[in-house]
């Protein structure tokens, strides 16, 4: 009996990219989608923020005045503008203390007042919570220019409400006290203005965070005998640490670069050099004295100061979370 041998035919496998290559391409596509969605916004930010910032940095290395502005020429002087600013005692004795001291007071008062208002709103019923939240948001919606003129009128030395009230009860003589000529009085009024304008944002943001805290935690703490003060520091503060971080950083940035509330007050536009902060000093140097290079260097220093403060604060916060 003869046996016939049959050839075994290997199965045909279609050629194509390996499964790993497919997965890698799919992963890259998924990673690229968020950037594609963000691309229009990033382009707008680059045009509106990065280009002006680069221009300011470039001007800070030039002796750029009205002559250069008209002729379009560049006059690079290296680090001379920064050396002039940092070597000026006016920066260390007036401008920097004004900027830092004013910002610290405003940030602390804004966050504390906003938190207290949020805690108060949190215990109200739905109707009154809505009414009060809407009312305080009106203060935040008022433009800074409008709010500043209201505070100027309130503390007007001749016809202001505060001066008239104090004169009526015999505390001061009418027209004898001008708070705007005194450095401390000037910044006290500016602090009231900034805190009044800024606390609604903190209050509404903290209130939104409070609504996410489980009520069972407060009930359990109350049953254990914890009072309101202890419940805040043991439950509310740890739970809302990210919220407090956000409002503190934003308030710091806003209060360090306050301009309108200082410039619009009597003496803030150049009449009283003892009340300048970094923002106003940069503006005066640039547009009042025509020293655009020097003013740009001051603006770069202010930006750098804000970056340093933000980075230090964030690193400290993250270290605390890792403990």
- Are 233 and 103 found together in one domain? yes
- Are 138 and 259 found together in one domain? yes
Tell me the whole-structure pTM to 2 decimals. Answer: 0.81
Query: Is 22 contained in some domain?
Result: yes
- Are 197 and 309 found together in one domain? yes
- Are 116 and 164 found together in one domain? yes
- Taking only the tens of pLDDT, the chain with its 323 residues reads 444 445 555 555 555 555 677 777 778 888 888 888 888 888 888 888 888 888 999 999 999 888 888 888 888 999 999 999 999 999 999 999 999 999 999 999 999 999 999 999 988 888 888 888 888 888 888 899 999 999 999 999 888 899 888 888 888 887 788 899 889 999 999 999 999 999 999 999 999 999 888 888 888 888 888 888 888 888 888 899 889 988 998 899 899 989 999 999 998 888 888 999 999 999 999 998 889 999 999 999 999 988 888 888 777 777 655 54
- As beta bridge partners, residue 62 has 76
- Are 28 and 161 found together in one domain? no
Query: Is 75 contained in some domain?
Result: no
- Are 203 and 290 found together in one domain? yes
Write out the residue range of the structural domain in which residue 291 sits.
Answer: 89-320
- Are 104 and 243 found together in one domain? yes
Cα angle for residues 316, 320, 201 (degrees, 5° grid) = 70
Closest Cα to residue 137, out of 190, 209, 199, 212?
199
Query: Is 64 contained in some domain?
Result: no
d(CA 2, CA 147): 110
Contact 236, 213 (CB under 8 A): yes
Query: Is 72 contained in some domain?
Result: no
Q: Which of 11, 37, 59 is the last residue of a domain?
A: 59
Query: Is 71 contained in some domain?
Result: no
Tokens 């980075």 — which residue? 311
| SS3 track for the chain | CCCCCCCCCCCCCCCCCCHHHHHHHHHHHHHHHHHHHHHHHHHHHHHHHHHHHHHHHHHHCECCCHHHHHHCCCCECCCHHHHHHHCCHHHHHHHHHHHHHHHHHHHHHHHHHHHHHHHHHHCCCHHHHHHHHHHHHHHHHCCHHHHHHHHHHHCCCCCCHHHHHHHHCCCCCCCCCCHHHCHHHHHHHHHHHHHHHHHHHHHHHHHHHHCCCCHHHHHHHHHCCCCHHHHHHHHHHHHCHHHHHHHHHHHHHHHHCCCHHHHCCCCCCCCCHHHCCHHHHHHHHHHHCCCHHHHHHHHHHHHHHHHHHHHHHHHHHHHHHHC
Query: Is 68 contained in some domain?
Result: no
Query: Is 77 contained in some domain?
Result: no
d(CA 101, CA 195): 14
Question: 270 to each of 58, 118, 148, 300, how far by Cα in Å?
Answer: 26, 38, 17, 21
d(CA 314, CA 310): 6
- Are 180 and 42 found together in one domain? no
- Are 46 and 122 found together in one domain? no
Sequence-distant (≥ 6) Cβ neighbours of residue 85 within 8 angstroms: 91, 294, 297, 298, 301
- Are 144 and 22 found together in one domain? no
- Are 148 and 268 found together in one domain? yes
Total of domains in the chain: 2
* CATH number of the domain that residue 126 is part of: 1.10.3720.10
Query: Is 79 contained in some domain?
Result: no
- Are 31 and 136 found together in one domain? no
Q: Which of 59, 77, 97 is the last residue of a domain?
A: 59
């Amino acid at each position: 009996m003869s046996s016939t041998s049959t050839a075994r035919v290997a199965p045909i496998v279609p050629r194509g990219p390996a499964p790993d290559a497919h997965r890698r391409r799919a992963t890259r596509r998924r990673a690229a989608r968020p950037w594609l969605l963000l691309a229009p916004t990033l382009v707008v930010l680059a045009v509106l923020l990065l280009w002006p910032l680069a221009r300011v940095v470039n001007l800070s290395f030039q002796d750029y005045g009205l002559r250069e502005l008209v002729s379009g020429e560049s006059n690079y002087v290296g680090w001379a503008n920064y050396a002039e600013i940092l070597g000026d005692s006016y920066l260390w004795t007036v401008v920097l203390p004004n900027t830092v001291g004013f910002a610290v007071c405003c940030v602390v008062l804004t966050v504390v007042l906003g938190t207290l208002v949020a805690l108060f709103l949190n215990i109200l019923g739905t109707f009154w919570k809505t009414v009060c939240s809407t009312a305080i948001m009106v203060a935040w919606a008022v433009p800074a220019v409008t709010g500043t003129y209201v505070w100027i009128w309130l503390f007007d030395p001749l016809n202001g409400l505060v001066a008239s009230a104090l004169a009526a009860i015999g505390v001061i003589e009418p027209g004898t006290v001008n708070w705007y000529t005194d450095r401390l009085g000037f910044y006290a009024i500016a602090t009231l203005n900034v805190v009044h304008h800024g606390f609604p944002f903190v209050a509404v943001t903290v209130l939104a965070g409070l609504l996410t805290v489980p009520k069972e935690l407060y009930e359990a703490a109350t049953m254990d005998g914890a009072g309101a003060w202890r419940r805040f520091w043991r439950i509310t503060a740890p739970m809302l640490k990210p919220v407090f971080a956000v409002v503190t950083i934003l308030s710091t940035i806003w209060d360090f670069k306050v301009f309108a509330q200082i410039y619009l007050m009597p003496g803030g536009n150049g009449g009283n050099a003892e009340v300048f902060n970094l923002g106003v000093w940069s503006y005066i140097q640039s547009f009042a004295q025509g020293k655009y290079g020097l003013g740009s260097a001051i603006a770069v220093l202010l930006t750098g100061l804000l970056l340093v403060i933000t980075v230090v604060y964030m690193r400290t916060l993250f270290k605390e979370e890792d403990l």
